[in-house]
Structure 1
Amino acid sequence: MSLINTQVPEFKAQAFHNGKFVEVSNESMKGKWSVVIFMPAAFTFNCPTEVEDAADNYAEFQKMGAEVYIVTTDTHFSHKVWHETSPAVGKAKFPLVGDPTHTLTRGFDVHIDADGLAYRGTFVVNPDGIIKTLEIHSNEIARD
């Protein structure tokens, strides 16, 4: 079943954002376009380059009225350390969302049960919280 034109699942998660821990929820996504980018885990080979690419283009996302959310199955504490130790991830000015309970990965249908990780997935969500486009692919393929 496709998630196109479905409501973002209800969730509350902790994120590292601009030097602080913050709560992110389905409600906080409403009122603006959102780009939700799932990655398997912090500290992997490809993920920092994908975060850096989103960070390098973040101003364009903001000009279009969109917020970016990076989600991995790690904790928000891991994301703090990842942000502080990786020059690529350190560029991120958007929330780095932790999903250790796998609520988001399951809700967006990108969870890999056998590994406890997420597939690489990108979702564009409208201001009403409706998924309008998505791309999901295998983890050995990085996004450009």
Structure 2
Amino acid sequence: MSLINTQILPFTAHAYHAGEFVEVTEADVRGTWAIFFFYPGDFTFVCPTELGDLAEHYGQLQDLGVEVYSVSTDSHFVHKAWHAASDEVGKVQYFMLGDSNLELTRNFEVERLGSGQADRATFLIDPQGTIQYIEQTAEGIGRSAAELLRKVKAAQYVAAHPGEVCPAKWEEGEETLTPSIDLVGKI
């Protein structure tokens, strides 16, 4: 069953953020756009490239009112150590949630059974706590923060313009579509 258009479930997680350990709950997420960026594990190979790429786009996401929460089943203590040890991960300014009890991993249904890890998955949540976008890839396939940024802009546009939709490869400022019987067979 898809989690699209479902509400995020209650959770409590410890995070490493801005040099501090903080607690994050679903209440902290509501009221703003949020990205939950699951990855298999700290001190691995594809994961730091993804977190670094996302860090390079974090300012643009914040300009759009989006908060980012990276999540792995490592603890917040391990996140701090990785942040200090890796130049790529050291760029991260967003929240790094520890999910060693797998609460978030199971809430978002991305548990890699038998491994104690999460799959590589991205969720975009609107200010009402509704999941609007999901991307999940196999172990060796890294994600693109630039493409995620484009999809955030499309989701925000659709939310702000009821009745309009964004076609394939839509970029901010381009034409959208207004579905109607008049468009049937014309596209």
Q: TM-score range by the shorter chain?
A: over 0.9
**Which one-letter code corresponds to 1:22 in the other structure?**
V
- Max Rg structure: 2
Partner SS state of residue 21, structure 2:
strand
* TM-score calculated relative to the size of structure 1: 0.98
State the shift of 1:143 in Å.
Answer: 1.5
State the shift of 1:142 in Å.
Answer: 1.5
* 1:28 alignment partner in structure 2: 28
Structure 1 residue 74 and structure 2 residue 68: aligned? Answer: no
* 1:56 alignment partner in structure 2: 56
Which stretch of the first structure deviates more once superposed, 62-71 or 133-142?
A: 133-142
Which whole-Å CA distance do the structure 2 matches of 1:90 and 1:4 have between them? Answer: 32
Structure 1 residue 3 and structure 2 residue 3: aligned? Answer: yes
State the shift of 1:141 in Å.
Answer: 1.3
Which whole-Å CA distance do the structure 1 matches of 2:139 and 2:69 have between them? Answer: 18
**Which one-letter code corresponds to 2:38 in the other structure?**
F
**Which one-letter code corresponds to 2:138 in the other structure?**
S
Partner SS state of residue 57, structure 1:
helix
State the shift of 1:83 in Å.
Answer: 0.6
- Calculate percent identity across the aligned residue pairs: 46
- RMSD over aligned Cα, in angstroms? 0.7
Higher percent of residues as strand: 1
Q: Which residues in structure 2 correspond to 1:38-117 (within 5 Å)? A: 38-117=38-117
Runs of 4+ in 1 over 3 A off after TM superposition: none
Which 5+ residue runs of structure 2 have no aligned equivalent?
145-187
* 2:166 alignment partner in structure 1: none
